[in-house]
Structure 1
Amino acid sequence: MKCIVLGSGTGIPSPSRNSAGYFLEAGGLNLLVDCGPGTMRRLVRARKGIANLDAVFITHTHPDHVSDLTPIIHALRVGGGGRRKKLTVYGPSGFKDYFDRIVLTQVRLPELFALEALEVEERMTLGSLTVQTFPTVHVEHLNSVGYRFEENGRSVVFSGDCDYSQGLIDGAHRADVLILDCCTLDSDKMEGHLSAGLAGLVAAKAEVKHLIPTHFYPIPAADSEREQECRIQFSGKITLAEDLMVFEV
């Protein structure tokens, strides 16, 4: 499996960090996990584009995680080069209503290819790829989930926005790679998000091999401080996410 970080930032503008988005090549499929504003342009810069997307996985419907979904569908509909391949968009409970009310009121259904929005099941199979979902704790008014992708005994987990919970630890248990919300330093902990120290604690309790902290708020904190706080709890491999960073699982 190969992953490209398209956005390691938040909804607050940053000159170097786009809003949340990740491109995953796995099981012969081209997948997108979240698509905040600017995701399409990041895909172009990563030389991937949108034409060959097979599925999109949304962790929750805050705009910094989903607002490029409508432009992506519109671009595929009007400039998809005769695309015939179906596009499936997955999201947590309540996502289908969001999709119908927000997305389909702005773009017409494509004529050349099938488009389907589905609310995720706990375990799904896409060819040789297994996708597991788990609930996360973020905000009360929205459902949110994390995703675990597994193929040939290897696993990568995307937490989305989340606070500390046992469900998160269980969902990430012994993952090869955990891409984890890490908004702030411990002194600036925000409700519904992990701080650096808590991110390290989750990684340690989940016994993951490689922690990739992400979703950084533009605060005056050096990367070394973020990593240092993660390391108080976690002794494994840590790589701070950067936009357009590529890694393999």
Structure 2
Amino acid sequence: MEITFLGTGVAIPQKGRVQSGVLVEFEEKPLLIDCGSGVLNRILEAGVRHTEIDTVLLSHLHLDHVADLLCLVKANWLMGKTDMRVYGPEGTEDWLFDLLGLYEYILEEVDVKVIECSPGKEFVPEGFDCEISCAAAVHSVPTLAYRLMSGEGEIVYSGDTEPCRDVLDLAVEADLLIHECSFPAGMKVTNHTTPSTLSDMLDEYRDEIGSLCLTHFYPEMRGHEREAIYRLKGNFDGEIILAEDLMNLEL
């Protein structure tokens, strides 16, 4: 299983970080998690053909996680690839087809299937030798964390969330937890994570999760990345990684 961080930023532009997107390849077959602005170009920069991507998991429908999805659908269609399966939380189908309805010339030419998921759902995406399960995250809109399990390894992607037991329980015995870390320690925030709020809860899971990779950095995090690692190391036994755009991890 190869993991490529396409976008590790947020809705505010930052040098070197586009919006959210992670590519997971199972025996070279790619599955995309989230598709924020800038992700389509990052797919190219990662050396992957966008027409190979026909399955997308959406954690939630905020623009910094979905803005390039329609761009991906159109780019694939222009290259003769018309089918796409999109998994996401409640509301995904209405959102996507309302958007596609603004561009009837695309809607009439593509075959996009939306599968809405709820916490606790388990499924095997068509064409993949992996199982996926969902848990509820804590954010301002319905948001899903995903666990991807195959013979190559197991990873969990938190989506946008405050630290919560449902997501950390989902990550127990996973090889890697990809967790948002939007703001530096000491900032009072809701719906997002800081190193201090994550550390407090992670202490209960310190030896139950393989490695931790932090992503989804707001500009306020610049210069505080190493501090985040230091704070988390006190309550977590595994490796702690800071995600960068186009960084690769392999399980």
State the distance in 2 between where 1:110 and 1:136 align.
35
State the distance in 1 between where 2:200 and 2:154 align.
19
CA RMSD of aligned residues (A): 1.8
**Displacement after TM superposition at 1:189 (Å):** 3.6
Question: Residues 67-99 of structure 1: CA distance to partner in whole angstroms, max 9, x if unpaired?
Answer: 00111111112x22x336x31011101111111
**Displacement after TM superposition at 1:222 (Å):** 3.2
Counterpart in the other structure of 1:94: 91
State the distance in 2 between where 1:105 and 1:232 align.
51
**Displacement after TM superposition at 1:188 (Å):** 1.3
1:218 aligns with 2:216: no
Question: Residues 125-174 of structure 1: CA distance to partner in whole angstroms, max 9, x if unpaired?
Answer: 134200111111101xx211011100017201111100122211211112
Q: 1:120 aligns with which of 117, 121, 125?
A: 117
Counterpart in the other structure of 2:57: 57
Question: Residues 187-220 of structure 1: CA distance to partner in whole angstroms, max 9, x if unpaired?
Answer: 1142101111233445443421100011111124
* TM-score where L is the length of structure 1: 0.91
**Displacement after TM superposition at 1:110 (Å):** 5.6
Counterpart in the other structure of 1:243: 245
In the superposition, relative to structure 1, how do residues 192 and 59 fare at CA in structure 2: closer, same or farther (>3 Å)?
same
Contact 1:27 1:128 in 2 (8 A): no
* Count of aligned pairs between the two proteins: 243
Counterpart in the other structure of 1:109: 107
Secondary structure at the aligned position of 2:219 is classed as: coil
Structure 1: which 4+ aligned runs deviate by more than 6 Å?
none
* TM-score where L is the length of structure 2: 0.90
**Displacement after TM superposition at 1:29 (Å):** 3.0
State the distance in 1 between where 2:81 and 2:98 align.
25
Contact 1:6 1:42 in 2 (8 A): yes
Alignment gaps of 5+ in structure 2: none
Counterpart in the other structure of 1:20: 20
Any residues of structure 2 matched to 1:82-231 within 5 Å, and which? 82-83=80-81, 86-106=83-103, 108-109=106-107, 111=109, 114-120=111-117, 122-126=121-125, 127-139=128-140, 142-152=141-151, 154-206=153-205, 207-219=208-220, 220-231=222-233
